[in-house]
Amino acid sequence: MRPLITIVTPALSDANNGNWQTARRWASFLGPGYRVRLTRAWTGEPADAMIALHARRSAESIARYADTGRPIALVLTGTDLYRDIEIDASARRSLTLARELVVLQAAGVGHLPTSLQARTRVIYQSAPTLTRLPPRRRSYDLAMVGHLRAEKDPLTAVRALSRIHDSTLRLRIVGDARDETIGTAIARAAASDPRLQWLGGLPHAQARREIRRARLLLLPSLMEGGANVLIEAVTCGVAAICSRIDGSIGMLGPDYEGYFPVGDADALATLIERCRRDDAFVGHLEAQASARAALFEPARERRAVHALARALLEAPGPA
């Protein structure tokens, strides 16, 4: 009988977020060789190994499964790496219970304690390469895709838009409001500026279509473990403007020229205006991103996920 791997993820299909997309994709990769169970929490069902997303939110499942003596891999998210493991005891305990640690971009390894880095591997996420769609001619569209919460810092993008006096510019925001205060602020801004269009949550295919038609993707996040939307932009040839955070640097490299300081709406506005008037600069950003695209190929991620599963099952037992 094929080994059974339980994937614990705090987000299932109803969440329609990056964690769910990762869990869904990994389950599909493992499906041909393993039995796979996707669940929000482990409730005691037998399993040969566990892959858990999120050190804090999956901490209870990790702790209970560790008592079975079977191996655990922990996939660290942005809030894990850049907040929770520093302030939350349950998240730190998850690190010690996992045999394998996974980060989703290269800069994440260095944020872990030195004692844990030897059992940490980088697995870049992936997206199928899709043809870019023709952009709208009457507007210069910026796409921002992600549920609205503080970690994504969408209000910096809104403030940047307000600083640019260009009637053809549009900021199209895809995502549900996970923070009521931010959602209210976005709605008010959209009511006063027709260039701001909040589309709400969309199915994954439609959200990616928004990226494919955009002139630029905006990613102003305060923290990211490894943003799926950034990979989806790279693999359809759309340049991204990102806050200078480890989660984006670890994917696009330190020399990428589309970064701006975290939370700096003036700098973001300046960068948007440069892109608006300088097609050659946008082409340069696209070329820089394209040079990294091989990292985000599905076949590469599939091989890495299978290697993780083999590492777990060939050396069972606690770390």
**pLDDT digit string, tens, across residues 234-275:** 999 999 999 999 999 999 999 999 999 999 999 999 999 999
Q: Is 31 exposed, middle or buried (0-12, 13-18, 19+ CB in 10 A)?
A: exposed
Percent of the chain with pLDDT over 90: 93
So what's the pLDDT on residue 13? 63
d(CA 302, CA 199): 32
So what's the pLDDT on residue 11? 72
Residue 3 pLDDT > 70, yes or no?
yes
Average pLDDT for residues 29-33, to the nearest whole number?
93
pLDDT band at 318 (very low <50, low <70, confident <90, very high): very low
* CA end-to-end span of the chain: 25
Average pLDDT for residues 160-180, to the nearest whole number?
97
d(CA 278, CA 6): 49
Alpha helix (H) residue ranges in the chain:
18-30, 59-66, 78-79, 85-87, 89-97, 114-117, 154-162, 180-192, 204-213, 228-234, 246-252, 265-277, 279-290, 298-314
pLDDT band at 30 (very low <50, low <70, confident <90, very high): very high
- Residues near 141 by beta carbon (within 8 Å), at least 6 away in sequence: 135, 170, 172, 213, 214, 215
Residue 316 pLDDT > 60, yes or no?
no
pLDDT band at 17 (very low <50, low <70, confident <90, very high): confident
When mean pLDDT is compared across 93-97, 138-142, 243-247, 313-317, the lowest value belongs to 313-317
Are 130 and 236 within 8 A, CB to CB? yes
d(CA 251, CA 293): 10
Q: What domains can you pick out in the chain, each with its CATH number?
A: 4-126+297-314 (3.40.50.2000), 140-296 (3.40.50.2000)
Closest residue by Cα to residue 197 from 230, 158, 227, 163? 158
Average pLDDT for residues 169-174, to the nearest whole number?
98
Question: Mean pLDDT of all residues in the chain?
Answer: 95
What is the per-residue pLDDT across 68-116, written as a single tens digit (0 to 9) for each?
999 999 999 988 999 999 999 999 999 999 999 999 999 999 999 999 9
**Locus of tokens 């399993």:** 47
d(CA 304, CA 77): 17
So what's the pLDDT on residue 212? 98
Closest residue by Cα to residue 49 from 63, 65, 33? 65
Residue 128 pLDDT > 80, yes or no?
yes
d(CA 213, CA 9): 31
Residue 14 pLDDT > 90, yes or no?
no
DSSP state, residue 119: T
Residue 16 pLDDT > 70, yes or no?
no
DSSP state, residue 151: G
Partners of 276 in the β-ladder: none
So what's the pLDDT on residue 319? 47
pTM of the model: 0.92
So what's the pLDDT on residue 177? 95
d(CA 201, CA 133): 21
Phi, psi of 98 (to 5 degrees): -85, 135
